C-alpha cells in the first residue's frame, strides 16, 4: 500500500475497507441500531461553521497544550479501542509507539492482545489506561488498577457507557460474535484479503491485560475478556476505583451535565463526552451538541474531552472552541493501523495535527488558548 496516496482520514477508511475482511472492517466502522448517533456525530460537526479573524500574524502556530497537567504536542489523543490485533499483528504496541513518536497521548483499552506493561514500556507519550471492570469480587479490579499504576499510566479512564452489549446489526449480519472467533465465515472472508491474512497468520500475540493465553488463541482469549468485563459501573465501583487510583480519574461516556458537579465532588478529574462512536445506545445526541452542557457544568473544575466523529483538523478546533480541552479519535487510527501498521498510525496522527495547525492559522489563532467560543457559529 502506497501510504503517500492517502491524504486524509477518509482515504485511510477506504484503504482499510479494501484491506480488511468485511466482518472485521464492519466491526470497526459500524455502530449500533440504525447508526443514527454515529452519523449524527459527523453531521453535527458539519453544521458548525468557523469564523476566521483577519489581521493576525499566524506565521508560527503552536499546537501544544497540556492534558490533565501532562504536556502534549497537540490537543488530540488516541481513544481506547479494543481488538486492535484484528487490524494488525503489532496492535497496541504499534499504536503506542506511533503516538509516542509524535508526542501524542494514547488511551489503552482493557481489551488488548499485549499486556499493559509491554505497551507502557514502549509508550513515550502521555498514557491513560481505560478500565472495564472485571466481573466477580473486587480483587480483580484492584489488581488491574495496581498494575496500571505500577506500569506508570498517567490517568485512569473509566468507561461508563457499556452497561450492556450493544445491538450492532452489521456484526449480526456478518455473524461476528464478541468475543471474536476465527470461525468459517471469518476464515472465508479472510481468504479474499491475502495481505491481511498473511499479516494475521504471521503475528504472535502477547498475554493480554489479564494474563491470557498464548499466541493465536489469545485473539479469542483477549476478546472473551471484553464480554466478561462488560458490566454496569455502580456508584460503589466509582468510589472503589477513586480510592484505589491515586492519579487523575477520567469518566468516559458522559452526554449530560446534570451529574457532572456531583461527580467532580466525588473525585472525578476529567470527562470524555462520548457516545462510544455511536456504538452503544443509538439515538443519543451528537457529542459536539452535548459538549457545551458538560463544559458548563464542569465550570473549570474538571477537564472536558470529546470523542465521536472527529475526522478533520477543523473538527478539532470546533470542539476546542466549544470548551473541550482536547479531543480523542477512535476509528481513524485503527484504519491507519490496518493499512500501514505503526507507520500508518503515525501518518494518520500527522494528518490530524497538520490539519489542526492549518485550521488554527486560517482561523487567526497562533496558540490553543486563542481558539475561543467566538470562532464558531453553532446553528440554533
Ligand atoms: C473497534 C473499536 C473498539 C473500541 N473499543 C473500546 C474499548 O475497549 N473501550 C472504550 O472505552 N471504548 C472503545 N471504543 C470506543 C472508542 O474509544 C471511542 O469512544 C469511539 O471510537 C470514538 O468515535 P470515533 O471512532 O468516531 O472517533 C471502541 C471503538 C472502536 C471503533
pLDDT at 211: 38
Nearest CA to ligand 1 atom 6: 81
pLDDT at 202: 77
Q: How far apart are CA 257 and CA 342, in angstroms?
A: 37
Q: Check whether 53 has a pLDDT greater than 50.
A: yes
Scanning the structure block, which residue is given the C-alpha cell 473509566? 158
What is the enclosing helix (H) or strand (E) of 107? strand 105-108
With a 6 Å cutoff on the Cβ, whether 307 touches ligand 1 is yes
pLDDT at 54: 96
pLDDT at 179: 59
Q: In the predicted model, what is the mean pLDDT of residues 17-21?
A: 96
Q: Is the peptide bond before 179 cis (omega within 30 degrees of 0)?
A: yes
Contact 201, 187 (CB under 8 A): no
pLDDT at 26: 96
42 C-alpha to ligand 1 centroid (Å): 15
Top mutation candidate among 276, 291, 307 for ligand 1, by most atoms within 8 Å of CB? 276
Domain assignments of the chain as residue spans, ordered by start = 3-364
Nearest CA to ligand 1 atom 1: 28
pLDDT at 209: 52
Q: How far apart are CA 158 and CA 177, in angstroms?
A: 24
The predicted-structure confidence for 134-187, as pLDDT tens digits, reads as follows 887 889 899 999 999 999 999 999 999 998 889 999 999 998 876 566 667 777
264 C-alpha to ligand 1 centroid (Å): 24
59 C-alpha to ligand 1 centroid (Å): 36
Q: Check whether 244 has a pLDDT greater than 90.
A: yes
What is the enclosing helix (H) or strand (E) of 253? strand 249-254
The C-alpha cell at 40 is 449524527
Record: fold of 3-364: TIM Barrel (3.20.20)
Contact 326, 352 (CB under 8 A): no
Top mutation candidate among 180, 250, 279, 349 for ligand 1, by most atoms within 8 Å of CB? 279
pLDDT at 178: 64
Residue 207 half-sphere exposure toward CB, CA atoms < 13 A: 8
56 C-alpha to ligand 1 centroid (Å): 38
Band (pLDDT 50/70/90 cuts) for residue 13 is very high
The predicted-structure confidence for 331-348, as pLDDT tens digits, reads as follows 999 999 999 999 999 999
Q: In the predicted model, what is the mean pLDDT of residues 242-248?
A: 98
258 C-alpha to ligand 1 centroid (Å): 24
The C-alpha cell at 107 is 488511551
With a 6 Å cutoff on the Cβ, whether 31 touches ligand 1 is no
Q: In the predicted model, what is the mean pLDDT of residues 295-309?
A: 98
pLDDT at 216: 36
With a 6 Å cutoff on the Cβ, whether 13 touches ligand 1 is no
Contact 235, 262 (CB under 8 A): no
Q: What are phi and psi of 166, to 5 degrees?
A: -85, 160
Non-local CB neighbours of 44 within 8 Å, separated by 6+ positions: 285, 286, 287, 288, 289, 309
- Calculate helix-pair angle for 235-244, 138-150, nearest 10 degrees: 40
Q: How far apart are CA 248 and CA 250, in angstroms?
A: 7
Q: How far apart are CA 118 and CA 209, in angstroms?
A: 10
pLDDT at 215: 35
334 C-alpha to ligand 1 centroid (Å): 10
72 or 189, which is more confident: 72
Contact 297, 318 (CB under 8 A): no
Non-local CB neighbours of 122 within 8 Å, separated by 6+ positions: 93, 96, 97, 100
| Catalytic-labelled residue, pool 193, 276, 347, 353 | 276
With a 6 Å cutoff on the Cβ, whether 308 touches ligand 1 is yes
Nearest-atom index, ligand 1, CA of 307? 22
Told to judge if 88 belongs to the known catalytic residues of this protein, a careful annotator would answer no
Contact 161, 281 (CB under 8 A): yes
User: In the predicted model, what is the mean pLDDT of the chain?
Assistant: 91
Nearest CA to ligand 1 atom 8: 82
Give the predicted TM-score (pTM) of the model.
0.95
Q: Check whether 225 has a pLDDT greater than 50.
A: no
pLDDT at 148: 96
With a 6 Å cutoff on the Cβ, whether 82 touches ligand 1 is yes
The fraction of the chain above a pLDDT of 70, given in percent, is 91
pLDDT at 232: 86
308 C-alpha to ligand 1 centroid (Å): 9
With a 6 Å cutoff on the Cβ, whether 111 touches ligand 1 is yes
- Give the Cβ contact number of residue 136 at 10 Å: 10
Q: In the predicted model, what is the mean pLDDT of residues 3-12?
A: 97
Nearest-atom index, ligand 1, CA of 84? 1
Q: In the predicted model, what is the mean pLDDT of residues 188-208?
A: 76
Amino acid at each position: 500500500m502506497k501510504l503517500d496516496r492517502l491524504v486524509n482520514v477518509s482515504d485511510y477508511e477506504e484503504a482499510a475497507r479494501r484491506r480488511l475482511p468485511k466482518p472485521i472492517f464492519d466491526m470497526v466502522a459500524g455502530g449500533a441500531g440504525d447508526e443514527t448517533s454515529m452519523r449524527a456525530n459527523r453531521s453535527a460537526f458539519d453544521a458548525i461553521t468557523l469564523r476566521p479573524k483577519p489581521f493576525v500574524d499566524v506565521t508560527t502556530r503552536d499546537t501544544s497544550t497540556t492534558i490533565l497537567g501532562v504536556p502534549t504536542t497537540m490537543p488530540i489523543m488516541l481513544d481506547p479501542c479494543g481488538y486492535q490485533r484484528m487490524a494488525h499483528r503489532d496492535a497496541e504496541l504499534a499504536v503506542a509507539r506511533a503516538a509516542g513518536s509524535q508526542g501524542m497521548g494514547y488511551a489503552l483499552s482493557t481489551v488488548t492482545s499485549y499486556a499493559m506493561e509491554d505497551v507502557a514500556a514502549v509508550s513515550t507519550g502521555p498514557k491513560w489506561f481505560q478500565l472495564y471492570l472485571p466481573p466477580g469480587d473486587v480483587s480483580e479490579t484492584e489488581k488491574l488498577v495496581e498494575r496500571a499504576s505500577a506500569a506508570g499510566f498517567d490517568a485512569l479512564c473509566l468507561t461508563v457507557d457499556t452497561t450492556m452489549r450493544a445491538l450492532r446489526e452489521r456484526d449480526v449480519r456478518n455473524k461476528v460474535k464478541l468475543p471474536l472467533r476465527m470461525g468459517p465465515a471469518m476464515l472465508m472472508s479472510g481468504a479474499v484479503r491475502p495481505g491481511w491474512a498473511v499479516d494475521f497468520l504471521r503475528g504472535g500475540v502477547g498475554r493480554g491485560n489479564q494474563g491470557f493465553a498464548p499466541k493465536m488463541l489469545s485473539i479469542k482469549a483477549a476478546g472473551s475478556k471484553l464480554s466478561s468485563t462488560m458490566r454496569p459501573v455502580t456508584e460503589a465501583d466509582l468510589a472503589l476505583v477513586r480510592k484505589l487510583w491515586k492519579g487523575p480519574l477520567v469518566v468516559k461516556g458522559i452526554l449530560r451535565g446534570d451529574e457532572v458537579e456531583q461527580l467532580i465532588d466525588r473525585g472525578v478529574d476529567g470527562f470524555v463526552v462520548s457516545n462510544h462512536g455511536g456504538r452503544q445506545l443509538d439515538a443519543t445526541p451528537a457529542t459536539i451538541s452535548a459538549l457545551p452542557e458538560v463544559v458548563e457544568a464542569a465550570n473549570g473544575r474538571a477537564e472536558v474531552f470529546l470523542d465521536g466523529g472527529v475526522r478533520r483538523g477543523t473538527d478539532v478546533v470546533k470542539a476546542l472552541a466549544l470548551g473541550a480541552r482536547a479531543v480523542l479519535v477512535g476509528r481513524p487510527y485503527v484504519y491507519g493501523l490496518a493499512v500501514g501498521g505503526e507507520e500508518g498510525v503515525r501518518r494518520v496522527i500527522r494528518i490530524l495535527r497538520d490539519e489542526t495547525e492549518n485550521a488554527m492559522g486560517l482561523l487567526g489563532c497562533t496558540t490553543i488558548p486563542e481558539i475561543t467560543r467566538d470562532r464558531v457559529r453553532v446553528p440554533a
